[in-house]
Amino acid sequence: MSMLTINNVHTYYGNIHALRGINLTIEQGEIVTLIGGNGAGKTTTLRTISGLLKPREGSVTFEGENLAKYKAHELVYKGISMVPEGRGVFSSLSVTENLEMGSFILKDQKEAEKNMEHVFTLFPRLKERRNQLAGTLSGGEQQMLATGRALMANPRLVLMDEPSMGLAPVLVELIFDIIQQINKEGVTVLLVEQNALMALSIAHRGYVLQTGEIIISDSADKLKNDPAVQKAYLGME
Amino acid sequence: MRTSFGERMLDLVVTGFLWGIRIAILLAIVIGTIVTVSKGHYTSEQWIGFVVFGVAQGAIYALIALGYTMVYGILRMINFAHGDIFMTGAFGAYFVATWLNTIGFVDRNPFLGLLIPVLFAMILAAAIAMLVERIAYRPLRNAPRLVPLISAIGASFFLEYAFRGFFGPGKYAYPPIKALDGGWTIFNVEIQKVQVLVVAAAAIMMAILYFIVMYTKVGKAMRAVSESQDTAALMGIDVNRIIVSTFALGAAMAGAAGVLFSLVYRQIDFFMGFTPGIKAFTAAVLGGIGNIPGAMVGGLVLGVFESIGPSLFLEGLGIPRPYQLKDVIAYTMLVMILLFRPSGILGERLSKKKA
């Protein structure tokens, strides 16, 4: 049984038909990437999985359970965390407070502290800035914070929405190294990216999304060598 | 962008007009103050007395203003029923205090005799505010912003006339508390016990509220929700529960303020929430709406201005009964703030956010 199964999902924004029958599966322990251009529906897919949007048709199943009956905040308890588009840190809260919000669902204070220590070992920079307001951090630091915050709730599946957006190449590499590291620690990752080359270099499998439909799905290596993908998303002729 | 000559002229006229208002009001204040001070009608002790009265009044405004500002911070909505929540607290406390008074409990134990009605008022006000949120605001959460505003005005009228229906249009006398009679004279300035109580109680309440918002899990979640409901939901925060807690917390402060107000003025009626409600709203805007320390500062500034204003500059301008114009000062301040500094004294938050 797959960890996450998206079956024929149609999602609308008002009257806009944003997702037109998407099928996608994620196996436990994978890094799966969803690539595609602007407006292809990548963020909509993540928002549908995380419960912020409800599909009008089709189903999202996580560990054998249909998610339709859950609200967004209840899905965190199921083990799904999200790093939202544009980082979405709480800018008037300090770094520590942001991380505490990440572990909001944990009853055990000790566990939350342990997780925070873990985040600080992944991102020592955050520890240095822990009392600073998140709004005063640089873009890279905010991305670290958003990523660390998603890990605070002990997720089994992390949804990442364009973590490379607006970051210098060296920071993108740092973030992607961390994604691989948390994946090795047993967290499954769904990575949405416009930076297709980077995404395919760490993912096991990939899906290509175009105007609300999945047009190709294959292993990451095959996608990297697919002439159509190379032309459209990897900037190669 | 090119603008026509007519538009530029209109712009000039409007700017000139606004500057004219500023200068006229500033002149009125300065001239009035100079005339009053040169006449020397009041002793410095009397002035200090005005300030003390203003601080006590301002502390009540500040307590109410907190509810406006917290709800605005989290929902970007003005809860115009908040003044009536204050009234429900006063009514609740009145019945409990009257009963405690008839059985003689207040005389035997003045401290508890004061505390129990306050606690009851806070709980009652919070409960009513939670109901109002559930019935009148939550179903309209995604409606255009004008809609919940109209619903709030409806809720305000509903509360006022429901209480009028139950308890009649007359005034009720809040039971006197002997322990609060009289006062002290410090350096020739007479300070009433009840004023000290009001300021102390308000300070304690505000400290508790500040602690809750800054250091507790639910307080941090309130701040997170006020930044982004979606992102907060992604943290596993039940946004609706946090919004209800915000209403309840703000209402508890208003309920307590209702009791303090009753202790000072000794009488309550169904309409008593209207004026303090608008004054507290003014205080919240004055301090910068959405900003919690701003509500506290705004309340105090408004209270003091209202208290010294009539004798300081209105009397100097030769206005016959300046005290009757005390409300005019508050509302003039509201208009001035909205015209010239809409973000308020401490409110950079509003301008930074897309709101």
Write the pLDDT tens digit of every residue in B109-124: 888 888 899 999 999 9
Band of pLDDT at residue B1, cut at 50, 70 and 90 = low
- In a domain? residue B257: yes
Distance CA A215, CA A192 (A): 15
Number of domains composing chain B: 1
Q: What is the number of helices (H) and of strands (E) in chain B? A: 14, 4
The mean pLDDT of chain B is 86
Q: Evaluate whether B71 touches B77 at the Cβ level (below 8 Å).
A: yes
- In a domain? residue B94: yes
Band of pLDDT at residue B171, cut at 50, 70 and 90 = confident
Q: Give the DSSP H or E segment for B340.
A: helix B326-340
Band of pLDDT at residue B100, cut at 50, 70 and 90 = confident
- Sign for the pseudo-dihedral over CA of B7, B13, B15, B18: negative
Cα Rg of chain A, angstroms: 17
Instruction: Give how far B233 is from chain A: nearest CA, Å.
Output: 5
Query: Residue B157 pLDDT > 90, yes or no?
Result: yes
User: Which residues in chain A land under pLDDT 50?
Assistant: none
- In a domain? residue B118: yes
A contacts of B290 (beta carbons < 8 Å): none
Band of pLDDT at residue B354, cut at 50, 70 and 90 = very low
- Give residue for tokens 């999602």: A11
The predicted structure's pLDDT at residue A99 = 95
The pLDDT tens digits of the residues spanning B176-200 come to 877 777 777 777 777 888 888 889 9
Mutate to test the interface with A, among B141, B228, B229, B235 (most CBs of A within 10 A): B235
Would you call A227 exposed, middle or buried from its count of C-beta atoms within 10 A (0-12, 13-18, 19+)?
A: exposed
The predicted structure's pLDDT at residue B351 = 40
Q: Looking at residue B274, which CATH number applies to its domain? A: 1.10.3470
The pLDDT tens digits of the residues spanning B331-349 come to 888 888 887 777 877 865 4
- DSSP string covering B81-121, please? THHHHHHHHHHHHHHHHHHHHHTTHHHH-HHHHHHHHHHHH
Query: Residue B137 pLDDT > 50, yes or no?
Result: yes
Which among A72, A91, A149 has the least Cβ separation from residue B233?
A72
The predicted structure's pLDDT at residue B266 = 87
The predicted structure's pLDDT at residue B38 = 79
Please give the share of chain B, as a percent, with pLDDT higher than 90: 41
The predicted structure's pLDDT at residue A237 = 55
Would you call A153 and B235 a contact, using CB atoms and an 8 Å cutoff? yes
Query: Residue B355 pLDDT > 70, yes or no?
Result: no
- In a domain? residue B9: no
Would you call B223 and A50 a contact, using CB atoms and an 8 Å cutoff? no
B contacts of A93 (beta carbons < 8 Å): 220, 223-224, 227
Q: CB under 8 Å, gap of 24 or more: what pairs does A174-180 form?
A: A174/A140, A174/A144, A175/A140, A175/A143, A175/A144, A175/A147, A176/A201, A176/A202, A178/A122, A178/A123, A178/A144, A178/A147, A179/A31, A179/A147, A180/A31
- Sign for the pseudo-dihedral over CA of A142, A147, A148, A149: positive
Would you call A104 and B223 a contact, using CB atoms and an 8 Å cutoff? no
Largest Cα separation within chain B, whole Å, is: 77
Distance CA B173, CA B92 (A): 13
Band of pLDDT at residue B261, cut at 50, 70 and 90 = very high
Beta-carbon contacts of residue A175 (< 8 Å; ≥ 6 apart): A140, A143, A144, A147, A163, A164, A167
Please give the share of chain B, as a percent, with pLDDT higher than 70: 97
Q: Evaluate whether B250 touches B67 at the Cβ level (below 8 Å).
A: yes
The mean per-residue pLDDT over the stretch B31-41 comes to 79
- In a domain? residue B342: no
- In a domain? residue B198: yes
Q: Evaluate whether B60 touches B230 at the Cβ level (below 8 Å).
A: no
- Residue B45, both tokens: 């002790």
Q: Evaluate whether A202 touches A31 at the Cβ level (below 8 Å).
A: yes
Which structural domain range is residue B88 located in?
53-301
The predicted structure's pLDDT at residue B352 = 44
Instruction: Give how far B231 is from chain A: nearest CA, Å.
Output: 7
Which amino acid is located at A209 in the chain?
A: L
Query: Residue B329 pLDDT > 90, yes or no?
Result: no
Cβ–Cβ contact A131 with B under 8 A? no
- In a domain? residue B26: no
The predicted structure's pLDDT at residue A185 = 92
- Give residue for tokens 């009605």: B117
Would you call A90 and B221 a contact, using CB atoms and an 8 Å cutoff? no
Would you call B231 and A77 a contact, using CB atoms and an 8 Å cutoff? no
- Sign for the pseudo-dihedral over CA of B34, B36, B42, B46: negative
The predicted structure's pLDDT at residue B118 = 92
The predicted structure's pLDDT at residue A235 = 67
The pLDDT tens digits of the residues spanning A86-118 come to 888 999 999 999 999 999 999 988 999 999 999
- In a domain? residue B234: yes
Q: Give the DSSP H or E segment for B267.
A: strand B267-268
Would you call A73 and B224 a contact, using CB atoms and an 8 Å cutoff? no
Picking from A1-15, A115-129, B272-286, B308-322, which range would have the lowest pLDDT averaged per residue?
B308-322
SS3 A157: strand
